[in-house]
Amino acid sequence: MSTDVGIIGLGRYLPSEMRTNEDVAARTPGVNAEWVGRRTGVLSRFVAAPGEAASDLAAPAAEAALSAAGLDAAQVDLLVVATTTADEPSPATACRVQAALGAADAVSFDVNGACAGWLFAVKIARDWLRDKPGSGYAVVIGVEVFSRFLDPDDRATAVIFGDGAAAAVLGPVPEGTGFDDIRLGTESALADAVIVPGGGSRLPASTSTVERREHTIRMDGRAVTQFFRSRFPQLLYGLLDDHDLKLGDIDAFACHQANPVLLKAVAAEHGVDPGRLIVVADRIGNIGSGCTPYAIAEAVARDLLQPGSRVILVAFGAGMTFGGALLTWAPGVKLLDATKENL
């Protein structure tokens, strides 16, 4: 019996409010819409409504993925939510999603691997399912509500991030398909390069932390860029070399979308065909842990993946975390988009 585990259904969800670069420039001192588009490549992003939390975005994405896979929530054995913007410090956002779905028998928990978190969660889910070959299903969700954690005066962050969710159902797939390789890492010497300093046990919430805006994202853009430029080729060529593949053998590159301009430039430097590089952040912004699964879903929406297609995934995040994966596409995988009207 095959122990291969792969994606068998996909879903994605965006909140209803869209903010253009003109909208963001009106809120952020020292920038204009042309500057935002030229420097970041982001043209629009979506923003959660007041009172709309991470679980409210994650649940419809997960429900859509389950429907795409032809499964009921009662069949879910494992539910993992990758997020840095949880509903609350405790309990896990996955518990909220489990309740919303009615997945009563699922083991549910969160993973915080920042923008690489979805790959961390996939690794856990794949290994979990391999313990019970031929049966069992996992829902793995990447979701962020970054709009709650942005300083509108900080142009390095206020113009890039958006809110959104994407989910994948993992389960048994035909032999020779599924996740061939998942590799993860952390370079903790750069842990302060992207950080929300307030709200934890080191700087618990107080009047002074709020006044100093310590509950918003702070980012060293130069350090992040250098990290991306060094780690991207390591992950890319490591996966290719270890599996005796060439760039031309890869049908789609679904990477984290920290900055579309940077992603396109670095990919081009290493010979990635721009027609196979899935860029979504130009329309939805950087949605953190949701970017990689959203990009996979976009590849399906564009009809770029057929059974046997090979996909390389590369992601980076605060910490600094990083991950790469090689995925061989299984037959019959469908996508349901819970917010098609927004696109």
Domain boundaries, the chain: 5-176, 179-334
Mean pLDDT of the residues in the chain: 95
Q: What is the pLDDT of residues 195-224, one digit of tens each?
A: 999 999 999 999 999 999 999 999 999 999
pLDDT above 50 (res 100): yes
In 3D space, the residue among 305, 318, 336, 310 whose CA is nearest the CA of residue 243 turns out to be 310
Q: What is the pLDDT of residues 15-55, one digit of tens each?
A: 999 999 999 999 999 899 999 999 999 999 999 999 999 99
| pLDDT score of 117 | 97
Active site residues: 115, 256, 286
DSSP symbol at 174: -
Helix, strand counts (H, E) of the chain: 11, 14
Q: What is the pLDDT of residues 303-334, one digit of tens each?
A: 999 999 999 999 999 999 999 999 999 999 99
Decide if 311 contacts 253 (C-beta within 8 A).
yes
pLDDT above 70 (res 134): no
Predicted confidence band at 343 (pLDDT cuts at 50, 70, 90)? very low
State the average pLDDT over residues 229-235: 95
Angle subtended at Cα 317 by Cα 316 and Cα 321, rounded to the nearest 5 degrees: 80
Which residue type sits at 270?
A: H
Helices 260-269 and 221-242: crossing angle in degrees, nearest 10, is: 40
**What whole-number distance in Å separates Cα of residue 193 and Cα of residue 4?**
37
The fraction of the chain above a pLDDT of 70, given in percent, is 98
Compute how many other C-beta atoms are within 10 angstroms of the C-beta atom of residue 271.
10
Q: What fold, for 179-334?
A: Peroxisomal Thiolase; Chain A, domain 1 (3.40.47)
Q: What is the CATH number of domain 5-176?
A: 3.40.47.10
Predicted confidence band at 133 (pLDDT cuts at 50, 70, 90)? confident
Which residue has 């963001």 as its token pair?
Answer: 24
Whether 5-176 and 179-334 share one fold: the answer is yes
Supply φ then ψ for residue 121, to 5 degrees.
-65, -40
State the average pLDDT over residues 112-129: 97
Between strands 321-328 and 194-195, the pairing is unpaired
| pLDDT score of 340 | 64
Q: What is the pLDDT of residues 63-78, one digit of tens each?
A: 999 999 999 999 999 9
Q: How far is CA 307 from CA 181, 208, 326, in A?
A: 17, 55, 14
Predicted confidence band at 132 (pLDDT cuts at 50, 70, 90)? confident
Q: What is the pLDDT of residues 247-304, one digit of tens each?
A: 999 999 999 988 999 999 999 999 999 999 999 999 999 999 999 999 999 999 999 9
Predicted confidence band at 3 (pLDDT cuts at 50, 70, 90)? confident
pLDDT above 70 (res 342): no
